[in-house]
Amino acid sequence: MPDRVLWLTKGLGLGGAERLLTLMAPKLDRERYTVDVAYLLPWKDAFADDLGRAGVDVICLGARRTMELDWPGRLRQLLKDRRYAIVHTHSPVPAVAARSMVRRPTHLVHTEHNMWDRYRWPTYASNALSYARNDAVLAVSDGVAGSIERPWWARIGKAPAVETLLHGVEPGEVPRGPEARATARAALGLHERTPVVGCVANLTPKKDHAGLLEAIGQVRAQVPDVVLLLIGTGPLEAELRANVQQQGLQDAVRFLGSRNDVPDLLPSLDVFVLGSRYEGLPISLLEAMAAEVPCVATAVGGIPEAVTDGVEGRLVPPGHPDTLAQALAGLLQDPELRSAMGAAGRQRVIADFSIDRAVRRTEQLYRRLLTE
């Protein structure tokens, strides 16, 4: 009988951590493991169907807010009914709840996707205090791993060592090349020679879309017909749309909303851009690299572990729209450099960011815990 594993997360919306689960699920050894996925927030369910098609039982714990008190009861009942061999958590709030409920012989694994100093205080404190309950901890980048440090008042018990496990994508499934580019541009109504920059990120403060819009305003001075595609939704959408109006960028910026066909759209881009103030390791960046799209991104979190400045793309400091604009304009005006960086990016993903490798290492970790 396969061992039963629960992947527990806050939501299944269109985000990088959620996308990672959909990439991993079809590749897990089903002769050894049966996987369920439980999540809190019912309105964040964009990837639920994808996981279902991969043979995963998806359970919504039905929270209206993460801090309400009814979903932990449903989680407790789920743990009691299904008696999981491993509970693998992917976000801190449900992880804290699981750590208070899970007892042997069930093992706890946690994957850290975000920088610790960016958590809100209640999340940070409860996460740090319960961290030693984990049997194993994975981090999606060295940057994230380096941010994990329990303060003196939270050092209750001995926490396991943190292992960096670089996740990735399936390069063979990411469209690329002239035909994919033509198809994507036709779907978006873009002329084949229009210079196009694209950003895949939820419209939240940490992604700093306001700085990106300022940079695009400057890029237009050198590349007047540039178009910026913003893929994602979030609480700042109305504010950003007003920003576009104020800067007179209506002809240059297109809001595409949430899309479940992002890999198909990436070949339409001349440059992928991510101006985040902080990051873990964005899956959208790796997918763009796999599509042979050169990247301009901020040197935060795990991004420098994927992009070497001047090789696969350009790295810039966060919060500097002028520098971001210079990097974007330089690449848009140099097709040979774009081509070289795009090819280098795909090779980097193939070499170092394989989802197959990440899944095999995760399975090895599960086996070790279950045989101890």
pLDDT tens for the chain, 372 residues long, are: 899 999 999 999 888 889 999 999 999 999 999 999 999 998 899 899 999 999 999 999 986 655 556 889 999 999 999 999 999 999 999 999 999 999 989 999 999 999 998 899 999 999 999 999 999 999 999 999 999 999 988 998 999 999 999 998 988 889 999 999 999 999 999 999 999 999 999 999 999 999 999 999 999 999 999 999 999 999 999 999 999 999 999 999 999 998 989 999 999 999 999 999 999 899 999 999 999 999 999 999 999 999 999 999 999 999 999 999 999 999 999 999 999 999 999 999 999 998 999 999 999 999 999 998
User: 186 and 335: one domain?
Assistant: yes
Same domain (yes/no): 53, 82: yes
Structural contact between residues 276 and 318, judged by C-beta atoms closer than 8 angstroms: yes
The pLDDT value recorded for residue 348 is 96
Claim to verify: residue 141 and residue 185 sit in the same structural domain: no
Residues 154 and 122 in one domain: yes
Here the CATH number for the domain that contains residue 253 is 3.40.50.2000
My answer on whether 80 and 189 are in the same domain is: no
Pair 201, 327 in one domain? yes
Count how many domains the chain has. 2
Residues 181 and 131 in one domain: no
On whether both 146 and 234 belong to a single domain, the answer is: no
Instruction: Give the integer Cα–Cα distance in Å for 296 and 11.
Output: 28
Task: Indicate if 154 and 278 belong to the same structural domain.
Answer: no
55 lies in the same domain as 90: yes
Beta partners for residue 57, in sequence order: 36
Residues 338 and 360 in one domain: no
- Domain assignment of residue 217, given as a range: 171-352
- DSSP run (H or E) holding 180: helix 177-188
Q: Is 195 exposed, middle or buried (0-12, 13-18, 19+ CB in 10 A)?
A: buried
Tell me what pLDDT residue 35 has. Answer: 96
- This model's pTM is above 0.85: yes
204 and 240 Cβ atoms separated by less than 8 Å:
no
pLDDT number for residue 69? 64
Tokens of 143: 């940057």
Q: How far apart are CA 220 and CA 361, in angstroms?
A: 46
Q: Answer whether the bond into residue 105 is a cis peptide, omega within 30°.
A: yes
Q: Are 284 and 244 in a shared domain?
A: yes
Q: Which pLDDT belongs to residue 63?
A: 62
